[in-house]
C-alpha cells in the first residue's frame, strides 16, 4: 500500500484575515470610481459602513434575509450555498479576498443564498442603499455591477456543465484547476496552496459524496497528479489534470485519437 502521509495540518494553517492591497480588490474599480468622481476620500468612509471580522463557521447572511449590505472580502474565505428544508446543501461557490458578495440579490432585495466564513474572514460592509444610489448616478459603477453579475452567471453555467455532464474525477480535477487559476489571479502560487474548505464542502460543491472526494484525492495522489496532505495541496501534473478535466480519461481519449474530428 502506498502509505500516504496522514498528518493533519491544523485548520488554522491559512494566512487568515490579512487585508489585501486595495489594488488587488475586486471592488477596486468601484472604489476608485467613487474616489475619482467625487474627489472626496471621505465618501469611501461613508460608503464602507464598517470593517467586520467573521470567525470560521459564522454566517454573513442567510437565505431569505433582506439585503442590507454588500460585502467585499478583504481576507479569508467564504462559501455561499443554498439548501432545502430537509437539510440538503448545495455549495454555489467559494470566495476569497477581493470578491464581492450579495450583489446577486440586488434584484429583489432578498438574499437567495447563504454566506458563511470557511476561515477567519475580514470584510468591508457596504450599505446597499448607498451603493445603488451611486450606481444610479455613475454609469461606470453601474457597468461594474453588470460585469460582476455577468461573471456570476458565467460561473454558475460552468458549474452546471460540470454537474450535468462530468463524472467525479473530472469534477475534482476541474475544481483544483479552477482554484489554481483563482490563486494565480491573486498573485499566489498556482501549484501549491491551502484549501480553506472541508472535504464535505467540496463534495457539496461538486455534487458528490464526501467519501468520494477523499477517494479521488487518494487516487490522484497515488497517480502522482497531486500531493495532498489534508488541506495542503500541491499540483504535480497540471497538464494531466487538464486532460482529465476536459475529456473522459481513458476510453474517450482512445476514441478521439482514432476518430476523424468533424465540426
Partner DNA sequence: CGCGCTATTGATGACGCTCAAGACCCGTGG
Partner DNA sequence: CCACGGGTCTTGAGCGTCATCAATAGCGCG
In the complex, which residues of this chain contact a copy of itself (CB under 8 A)? Answer: 82, 84-86, 88-90, 92, 104-108, 112-113, 135-136, 139, 142, 145-154, 156-161, 163-165, 204, 206-207, 246-247, 252, 256
Using CB under 7 A as the binding rule, whether residue 116 contacts DNA is answered as no
**Residue 31 grid coordinates:** 472604489
32 or 89: whose CB is closer to DNA? 89
111 or 231: whose CB is closer to DNA? 231
From the list DNA, a copy of itself, none, pick the one residue 113 interacts with, judged by a Cβ distance below 5 to 8 Å according to partner type: a copy of itself
Site for DNA in 154-193 (CB under 7 A): 167-169
From the list DNA, a copy of itself, none, pick the one residue 215 interacts with, judged by a Cβ distance below 5 to 8 Å according to partner type: DNA
3-state secondary structure string, the chain? Answer: CCCCCCCCCCHHHCCCCCCCCHHHCCCHHHHHHHHHHHCCHHHHHHHEEEEEEECCCCEEECCCCECCEEEEEEECEEEEEEECCCCCEEEEEEEECCCEECHHHCCCCECCCEEEECCCEEEEEEEHHHHHHHHHHCHHHHHHHHHHHHHHHHHHHHHHHHHHHCCHHHHHHHHHHHHHHHHHHCCCCCCEEECCCCHHHHHHHHCCCHHHHHHHHHHHHHCCCEEEECCEEEECCHHHHHHHHHCCCCHHHHHHHHCCCCC
From the list a copy of itself, DNA, none, pick the one residue 204 interacts with, judged by a Cβ distance below 5 to 8 Å according to partner type: a copy of itself
Q: Which residues, in sequence order, are bridge partners of residue 94?
A: 79
List the one residue from 54, 193, 217, 220 that touches DNA (CB under 7 A). Answer: 217
Using CB under 7 A as the binding rule, whether residue 228 contacts DNA is answered as yes
From the list DNA, a copy of itself, none, pick the one residue 123 interacts with, judged by a Cβ distance below 5 to 8 Å according to partner type: none
42 or 88: whose CB is closer to a copy of itself? 88
Q: How far is the CB of 152 from DNA (least distance, A)?
A: 25
Using CB under 7 A as the binding rule, whether residue 23 contacts DNA is answered as no
Using CB under 7 A as the binding rule, whether residue 12 contacts DNA is answered as yes
Using CB under 7 A as the binding rule, whether residue 129 contacts DNA is answered as no
Closest Cα partner for 74 from 27, 29, 132?
A: 27
CB 26 within 8 A of CB 98: yes
45 or 252: whose CB is closer to a copy of itself? 252
Interacting residues toward DNA by CB under 7 A: 1, 4, 6-8, 10-12, 167-169, 198-200, 207-215, 217-218, 228, 230-231
Amino acid at each position: 500500500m502506498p502509505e500516504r502521509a496522514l498528518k493533519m495540518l491544523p485548520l488554522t494553517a491559512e494566512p487568515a484575515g490579512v487585508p489585501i492591497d486595495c489594488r488587488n480588490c475586486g471592488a477596486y474599480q468601484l472604489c476608485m470610481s467613487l474616489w475619482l468622481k467625487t474627489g472626496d476620500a471621505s465618501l469611501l468612509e461613508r460608503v464602507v459602513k464598517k470593517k467586520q471580522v467573521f470567525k470560521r463557521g459564522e454566517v454573513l447572511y442567510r437565505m431569505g434575509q433582506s439585503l442590507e449590505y454588500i460585502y467585499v472580502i478583504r481576507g479569508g474565505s467564504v462559501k455561499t450555498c443554498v439548501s432545502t428544508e430537509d437539510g440538503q446543501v448545495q455549495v454555489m461557490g467559494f470566495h476569497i479576498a477581493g470578491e464581492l458578495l450579495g450583489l446577486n440579490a440586488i434584484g429583489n432585495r432578498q438574499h437567495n443564498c447563504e454566506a458563511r466564513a470557511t476561515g477567519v474572514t475580514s470584510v468591508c460592509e457596504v450599505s446597499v442603499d448607498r451603493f445603488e444610489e451611486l450606481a444610479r448616478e455613475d454609469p461606470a459603477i453601474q457597468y461594474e455591477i453588470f460585469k460582476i453579475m455577468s461573471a456570476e452567471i458565467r460561473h454558475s453555467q460552468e458549474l452546471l456543465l460540470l454537474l450535468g455532464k462530468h463524472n467525479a474525477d473530472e469534477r475534482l480535477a476541474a475544481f483544483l484547476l479552477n482554484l489554481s487559476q483563482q490563486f494565480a489571479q491573486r498573485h499566489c502560487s498556482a501549484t501549491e496552496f491551502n484549501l480553506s474548505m472541508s472535504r464535505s464542502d467540496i463534495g457539496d460543491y461538486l455534487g458528490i459524496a464526501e467519501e468520494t472526494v477523499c477517494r479521488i484525492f487518494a487516487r490522484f495522489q497515488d497517480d502522482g497528479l497531486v500531493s495532498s496532505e489534508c488541506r495542503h495541496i500541491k499540483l504535480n501534473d497540471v497538464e494531466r489534470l487538464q486532460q482529465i478535466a476536459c475529456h473522459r480519461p481513458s476510453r474517450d481519449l482512445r476514441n478521439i485519437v482514432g476518430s476523424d474530428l468533424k465540426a
